[in-house]
Structure 1
Amino acid sequence: MTLKLRSVGASDRGLIRSGNQDALHAGSWLVAVADGMGGMAAGDLASRIAMDAMAPLDVETPEDALVAALSSGIDLATARIRRAVEEDPERQGMGTTLTALLFARTGSCLALAHVGDSRAYLYREGVLKQVTRDDTFVQMLVDQGVITPEQASSHPRRAVVTQALQGDEVSPAYATMVPRPGDRWLLCSDGLSNVVRADTLAEVLGGYPDPGACAAKLIDLALRAGGPDNVTVLIADVVEEPA
């Protein structure tokens, strides 16, 4: 038996925004979520550029090449966003978050890349853990002990990101982990994590075995909470299959 990744993604523009600037990729080896910013069509373009740059990584990749592959995808996305801004100065300031997970061809390892405030959570044996750290102004305040995590959730500047893919030099966070059978990954834009509590996320991830139904339930909860932003949810299950 070998470990495989089985993923399902869903996205909704929410109840307030006129369009959806999120993008996702739910593949067999790569899963990724991007949340565009910059107004007009620019945020939508930035997230799509990022996803188009990452999508070719959805192939069988050796364990020792995972982080390098993710890094090359981010470099390509950065270059393409920079070119798009040069082509149209009105796009100045556009950018996108990116949270991506790449599964090794052997199933023995996975790598995670992260920029911005979209999140990756791991639900393992009934316990939910936020694996990524938000690149935001309020997270910086939390790290400095100025405010508590509870205060951060309602802070007026909680949407201010300190790092995103905008065509400039960026310092993504990378991590590698050993997957286990039964692991469930949640990748999401802040349209979910800003309005649905972590304990509720854990309850749904554990209560809906079918990944599609789980994703749909999480989006429904975000909409019931007011749906103030685009909401994108990606569920990726680690399963055992014959080699």
Structure 2
Amino acid sequence: MNVAIRYAAGSDIGCSRENNEDSGYAGARLIAVADGMGGYAGGEVASSTVIGSLRSLDADTPLDDLVDSLGRAVSEANEKLRIVREERPDLSRMGTTLTAMLWSGPSVALAHIGDSRGYLLRDGELFQITQDHTMDQLLNAEAEQSGGAPADPAEASRLSHVLYRVLDGRDDREPDLRLREGRLGDRYLLCSDGLSGVVDAQTIYEVLSAEADPGRAVQRLIELAREGGGPDNITGVIADVVEAEHIGEPEPPITVGAAAQTQT
């Protein structure tokens, strides 16, 4: 199947933050969202460093090396964070989430670490295709495996923003990695929790279903997150799986958020 992706990306500082620590990228082969953290400047540096490192992946990659290529690129990005932390002790607390997809025809490698999210709209249904690496999710998963009681709701709420896996330059920061198969008509959304934490899944579904243009869909989701209070930075990337013949001339890649301010 000769397919390609039609993509769009957007990022907004939100209503409460002084700077944008999110970064996003959308290109013909690669889409990615990173949500930085670590105090003023730290989050910006972390997310933009990772997105800047991954941009070189936006090229043809052999199918049999798709997952490994993405995994190596994430490891290299994490190593760059380690170097930055050593050179900048003031950034020792910085880190970033990452959700990225690397395409080769209909096949796509997915890498995920942290609590940014990936969604798939397929055949009129919305699926979350990533699992949040938050402490509440971890405790509930452990309870389910052991047959114990789930976490207390109040405790789960408190832990819902505590991440146990991020990219921060330290060892053993491995993302979830897997290979997926796209279908014509699929629509993928990658977003920071500034979007998914404010706009509920039903509303995300309604916007993705109703708005055919990916750029307008991204902007509408950002508007809704701001209308919901915009307590955090808001970033979204959409990729639609279409027949390659319908793309026409390749669009230039899009970089948004902190990475857009630092790219050369």
State the one-letter code of the partner of 2:53: A
CA contact (8 A) 1:38 1:94 kept: yes
User: Larger relative contact order (C-alpha < 8 A, sep ≥ 6)?
Assistant: 2
- Larger displacement relative to structure 2 (138-147 or 33-42): 138-147
Aligned to 2:74: 74
| RMSD (Å), alpha carbons | 1.7
Q: Does 1:16 align with 2:19?
A: no
State the one-letter code of the partner of 2:106: S
Number of residues of Structure 1 aligned to a counterpart in Structure 2: 239
Normalised to the residue count of structure 1, the TM-score between the two structures is 0.94
Aligned to 2:204: 201
Taking the TM superposition and a 5 Å limit, the aligned residue runs for 1:92-241 are: 92-104=92-104, 107-143=105-141, 144-145=143-144, 146-147=150-151, 151=153, 155-169=157-171, 170-241=173-244
C-alpha deviations, 1:177-223, integer Å up to 9, x for none? 11100000000000011111111111110000010110011001100
| Secondary structure at the counterpart of residue 206 of structure 1 | helix
Note the C-alpha offset of 1:108: 3.1
Note the C-alpha offset of 1:8: 0.3
Structure 2: 5+ residue stretches without partners:
145-149, 247-264
Whole-angstrom distance in 2 between the partners of 1:108 and 1:81? 31
Aligned to 1:5: 5
State the one-letter code of the partner of 2:85: V
Note the C-alpha offset of 1:154: 7.9
Whole-angstrom distance in 2 between the partners of 1:235 and 1:109? 17
Aligned to 2:253: none
User: Identity of paired residues, percent?
Assistant: 45
Structure 1: 5+ residue stretches without partners:
none
| Secondary structure at the counterpart of residue 158 of structure 2 | coil
**Where does structure 1 differ by over 2 angstroms across 4 or more consecutive aligned residues?**
151-154
Normalised to the residue count of structure 2, the TM-score between the two structures is 0.87
Aligned to 1:42: 42
CA contact (8 A) 2:97 2:114 kept: yes
Note the C-alpha offset of 1:242: 2.9
CA contact (8 A) 1:117 1:135 kept: yes
Whole-angstrom distance in 1 between the partners of 2:213 and 2:194? 22
State the one-letter code of the partner of 2:126: L
